[in-house]
Structures are given as C-alpha cells and as structure tokens.
Structure 1
Amino acid sequence: MLQLCQVGVKGRLEPLSGQVAAGVQVHLIGPNGAGKSTLLARVAGILPGLGEIRLSEKLLGDYSGMELAKRRAYLSQQQSAMSLMPVFQYLALHRPVGCGESVLESTITYLCRRLKLTDKLSRMLSKLSGGEWQRVRLAAVLLQVWPTVNPQSQLLLLDEPTNSLDVAQKAALDHLLREFCHSGRSVMICAHDLNHTLQQADEVWLLQAGRLIAKGSTLDVMVPELLSRVYEIDFHLQSSGSQRWIMTKSV
C-alpha cells in the first residue's frame, strides 16, 4: 500500500526504506530529535526530501493536492485554533469532496459521539480547552478519510495524537483507529508512550538521531536490550499472562 525507497531529508533524516501493508497500525518511536515527525511529514508529502514514496504504486508527487487529500490525512503535532470559527464549521472544512449530506451527518455524529464532542459543536474554537481542541482536530482528520464518507482513503498519519487526552479519550481514539484499520486502511503514528505502543501497534519503526535503527513486528522491536541502547536508560519487560509492559529499572 505504501512504499518508501531511500526516503530522507537532508540534515534531519538519513535515507531509509520500508513499506506499510494495508490494515496495519505502525508506530514511529524513538527519543526526541530522532526524526519521527520529519519522517511523518515527508510521508504526508508536505516536506520535500530525498527518495521515492509510492502510495498504491503511484509516486506521491504525481498526485494532485485534491487527489492526495482523498488518499491520506495528516495531523501535525501542534496547531493553533482559529478563533473566529465554531467547531461544526471547522469540521465541515474537512468533509471529503462528493460525499452526501446524509452520510456526512451520520459520520460526524458518530465521530463526535465517540470523542465526546457532541455538546461542543456550536462552541467557538477559541473557547476550547487543550484536550477539547485536540479531540476536534482528531475528529476533523478522521472525517477526511473515514470509510463511510471517503471510499478512496488509505492512510492516516498522526503526530503524537494523544497529546492532552485523558485515559478515557485515549481509549476512544484507540477504538476508532482499530476500526479504521479493520476497514483495510493503515495508520502511522509518532508515539512516546512505549507501553501504549506495545499494546496497540502492529509494527514498530525505531529511530535514533535521524536513522532507522529497527523495524518489524511490535514484539520483535520492543525488546529491552534494543530500547535500552537507543533511549540510554535500562528497561525490563514485565509480563502477566498475555499482558506485557516495558518498565524502567530502578537505580
């Protein structure tokens, strides 16, 4: 579905290659400055650089802006709220071209109910808390590629999407992302919570200082020896039945 061939950004990300199959959730992990956000922006097509990126075997640069917007959606790490706009109007800006009013309304209702935004639709963006604004941004980017309103969508790119979310809101987002992947679409996420990655990711790409150190299945990459070397802190794996946790060792 997505192929990267020697993709990089001069001075920020050394060339790397890899692919993402349909229906998987891939987490990009690594210390601050590892190149996670750079890679995600490069895959989104908003950051120029080296190498080739193909989405459905077509070069990313060969898509028009409108075509690319139908195929993928991208959530940046930070964005200021537009003050003179209510939530419902902001969401409307992200409606896929050509979707019907009925299915659009039902999809917005579903996403807003899941993300606990139903009572916020008429509120001005400038009146939202940090967590509320993050959930509105998530609802908007999900709306852009949600299968019921956009059958052409394939990829969702999220840079630290759980910022400012509480435990229940993170669980709601996890549910929506699993649903999205179960429809045959894929998600790439920049993440810092290693235990969340351990529980939710299908694949993990580990970066350090602009280099791809390892990529593969979650259990193959999320091993204490490798993580300890990259993060420069001692980890150990705690298990209980089928559940596993990455823990730092006490000094």
Structure 2
Amino acid sequence: MLQLSQVGVEGRLAPFSGQIAAGLQVHLIGPNGAGKSTLLARLSGILPGLGEIRLAGRLLEDFPGNELARHRAYLCQQQPPVALMPVFQYLALHQPIGVDENELENTIFYLAQCLKLSDKLTRMLTQLSGGEWQRVRLAAVLLQVWPTVNPHSQLLLLDEPTNSLDVAQKVALDRLLSEFCQSGRSALVCAHDLNHTLQQADRVWLLHAGRLVAEGETLEVMDPGLLSKVYDVDFHLQALGEQRWLMTKTA
C-alpha cells in the first residue's frame, strides 16, 4: 500500500527503503531526535527530501493536494488552536467533499461520542484544555479519512497522538485505530510508550540518530537487548499471563 525507496531528508534522516501493507498499525519508535517526526512529515508530502514514496503504486508528488488529502491524513505533533471558531466548524474544515449529509452527521456524532467531545462541539477552540484540543484534532484527522465518509482513504499518519490524553481517552483512540485498520486501511503512529507499542502495534520501525535500525514484527523489534542499545537503558521482558511487558532494570 505504501512503498518507500531510499526515502530520506538530507542531514536529518538517512535514506532507507520499506513498505507498509494494507490493514496494519505500524508504530514508529526511537529516542528523542531519532527522526520520527521528520519521517512522518516526509511521508505526508509536506517535507521535500530524497527518494520515492508511492501510495497505492502512485508517486506521492503526482497527487494534487486536494486528491492527496482524500487518500491520507496527517496529524503533526504540535499545533496551537489559533483560529477563533467553534469545534463543529473546525471539524467541518476536515470533512471530505461530496459526502452524504446524513452519513457525515452520523460519523461526526460517532467520533465525538468515542472521544468524549459531544458536549464540546459548540465550544470555541481557544476555550479548550490541552487534552480537549488534542481530542478535537484527532476527531478532525479521523473524519478526513474515516471509511464511512471517505471510501478513497488509505493511510493515517499520527505524530504522538496520545499527547495530553488520559487513560480512558487512550483506550478510546486505540479502539478507533483498530477499527480504521480493520477496514483495510493503515496507520503509522509515532509513539513513546513502548509497552503500548508492544500491545497495539502489528509491526514496528525503530529509528536512532536519523537511521532506521530495525523493522519487522512487533516482538522481533521490541527485543530488550536491541532496545537497551538504542535507548541506553537496561530493559527486560516480563510475562504476565498471555501478555508481555517491558521493564527497566534498576541498579
């Protein structure tokens, strides 16, 4: 679905090749400054760089902007709510063109309900707390590519989407991402919570110092020895029932 051929950004991300198949949730992990945000911006098409990126076999630069927005959505890491508008108007800016009004209304209601925003739709963006604003941003980017209103959507790029979210809101986002990927679409998620990645990701890309150092199945990449070298922290894997958890070793 997404193919990368020697993709990089000069001075920030060394070129590498890879691919993401349809229906997968892929997590992008690594220490601060590893190049995760740079890679997401490059894959979104807003940051120029080296190599070729193909979405469904088509070069990314061959997509006109409005068409690219129908195929992929991108949530950057930080974006202040500078616009003086209510939440429902901000969401309307992200709705796909030509959508049935009833289907659009149902989808907005569903996303708002899942992310606990139903009572925030008339509130001004500048009146939102940090967590509320993050949930509004998530609802907007999901609306852009949600299957019920956008049959052309394929890819969701999320840079640290759980920022400012509490535990219940993280669980709600997990459910929405699982539903999105189960529809045959894919998500590439920049994450810092390694145990969350261990439980939720289908595959993992591990970056360090601007290079992709490992890529593969989750348990393969989330190897304590490999992670210890990259993060300079001693990890060990703890089994609890059918689940595994990464723990740090203390002296």
Tell me, yes or no, if structure 1 residue 62 matches structure 2 residue 69. no
Aligned residue in 2 for 1:89: 89
Distance in 2 between the 1:80 and 1:100 partners?
A: 31
Structure-to-structure mapping, 1:134-213, within 5 angstroms? 134-213=134-213
Flag as ranges the 4+ runs of structure 1 deviating above 3 A: none
Amino acid at match of 2:122: S
Amino acid at match of 2:199: Q
Distance in 1 between the 2:225 and 2:87 partners?
A: 45
- Residue 31 of structure 1 aligns to a residue in which SS? coil
Aligned residue in 2 for 1:215: 215
CA deviation profile, 1:197-243 (whole Å, cap 9, x unmatched): 00000000000000000000000000100000000110000001211
Aligned length: 251
Aligned residue in 1 for 2:19: 19
Once the 2 structures are TM-superposed, how far is the Cα of residue 83 of structure 1 from its aligned partner? Answer: 4.0
Once the 2 structures are TM-superposed, how far is the Cα of residue 166 of structure 1 from its aligned partner? Answer: 0.1
CA deviation profile, 1:138-179 (whole Å, cap 9, x unmatched): 000000000000000000000000000000000000000000
Alignment CA distance shift 1:67-1:83 (3 Å): closer
Amino acid at match of 2:228: S
CA deviation profile, 1:18-66 (whole Å, cap 9, x unmatched): 0000000000000000000000110000000000000000000000001
Distance in 2 between the 1:97 and 1:88 partners?
A: 16
Once the 2 structures are TM-superposed, how far is the Cα of residue 106 of structure 1 from its aligned partner? Answer: 0.2
Distance in 2 between the 1:83 and 1:18 partners?
A: 38
Aligned residue in 1 for 2:106: 106
- Residue 96 of structure 2 aligns to a residue in which SS? coil
Distance in 1 between the 2:233 and 2:209 partners?
A: 16
Aligned residue in 2 for 1:242: 242
Amino acid at match of 1:194: L
Distance in 2 between the 1:72 and 1:97 partners?
A: 14
Aligned residue in 1 for 2:28: 28
Amino acid at match of 1:185: R
Q: Quick one: percent identity of the two aligned structures?
A: 75
- Residue 19 of structure 1 aligns to a residue in which SS? strand
Distance in 2 between the 1:191 and 1:241 partners?
A: 24
What TM-score comes out, normalization by structure 1 length? 0.99
RMSD of equivalent CA atoms: 0.5
Aligned residue in 1 for 2:127: 127
Contiguous gaps of at least 5 residues in structure 2: none
Once the 2 structures are TM-superposed, how far is the Cα of residue 82 of structure 1 from its aligned partner? Answer: 2.7
Distance in 1 between the 2:146 and 2:128 partners?
A: 24
Distance in 2 between the 1:38 and 1:59 partners?
A: 19
